Amino acid sequence: METKDIFERLRIGETILPNDPEAYRMREEAFITKKLLVQMNNTAEPDEIRQLLSQVTGSEIDASVVVFTPLYINYGKHTKIGKNVFINFDCVFLDLGGITIEDNVQLAPKVSLLTEGHPTSIADRHSLIPKPILIKKNAWIGANATILQGVTIGENAVVAAGAVVSKDVPDNTIVGGIPARFIKDINT
């Protein structure tokens, strides 16, 4: 049986131990991504931003996508961005576990999408546990909201500013608070 690459193992949700023989590759790739982000975060040209973000993600970023830099990403190749997406200033994507942003999503300033976590036990705390984040079509994530690993934000859902989302958000609902809780349904 062939051993999978560390990035494949992260994408499928395998816990990575601190003594994993490929763990060093996560840091190496992070520095490659950082180099591209320095360029991207220092241009005001929308086409150049999209072109550099395409290099970071390893996939084509549609011309309808608008990114107000700076944007911070630790890996990039596990981020997929749909069409007509708006990403405002100072967003943070920790994407080793996988981030999918579907069409027509809006991310306000300082939104954090964090697909990576650690065990709480002291002995295992330096292990990395990846779980994907999915943000479905037409969702709106408010300023300074944090979406934690393993969460799906439903279609047309709204996450209020400052919320910390640790559980899935149903379609057509508004959530807010710490931890985020149901506020109300959205009339469609």
DSSP notation for 20-60: -TTTHHHHHHHHHHHHHHHHHTT---HHHHHHHHHHHHTSP
Instruction: Give residue 20's pLDDT.
Output: 95
Closest CA to 71 of 107, 32, 31, 28: 107
Q: Where are the domains of the chain?
A: 6-185
Among 4, 25, 35, 118, the active-site one is 118
Question: Could you tell me the fold of the domain covering 6-185?
Answer: UDP N-Acetylglucosamine Acyltransferase; domain 1 (2.160.10)
Tell me the pLDDT band of 3, cut-offs 50, 70 and 90.
low
Tell me the pLDDT band of 4, cut-offs 50, 70 and 90.
confident
Decide if 78 is catalytic: no
Q: Which two tokens stand for residue 112?
A: 């954090």
pLDDT in tens, 7-21: 999 999 999 999 999
Whether 171 has a pLDDT exceeding 90, the answer reads yes
Closest CA to 188 of 142, 141, 138: 138
**What is the CB neighbour count within 10 angstroms for residue 156?**
18
Whether 28 has a pLDDT exceeding 70, the answer reads yes
Q: What percent of the chain has pLDDT over 70?
A: 98
Whether 188 has a pLDDT exceeding 80, the answer reads no
Alpha carbons within 13 angstroms on the beta-carbon side of residue 147 total 38
Concatenating the DSSP letter of every residue in 65-113 gives -EE-S-EEES--TTEEE-SS-EE-TTEEEE-TT-EEE-TT-EE-TT-EE
Concatenating the DSSP letter of every residue in 113-180 gives EE-EE--SSTTTTTSBEE--EEE-TT-EE-TT-EEETT-EEPTT-EE-TT-EE-S-B-TTEEEETTTT
Whether 48 has a pLDDT exceeding 70, the answer reads yes
Instruction: Give residue 51's pLDDT.
Output: 98
Instruction: Give residue 7's pLDDT.
Output: 95
Strand partners, 166: none
Instruction: Give residue 187's pLDDT.
Output: 82
pTM above 0.85, yes or no: yes
Q: Which two tokens stand for residue 89?
A: 């200033």
d(CA 161, CA 32): 32
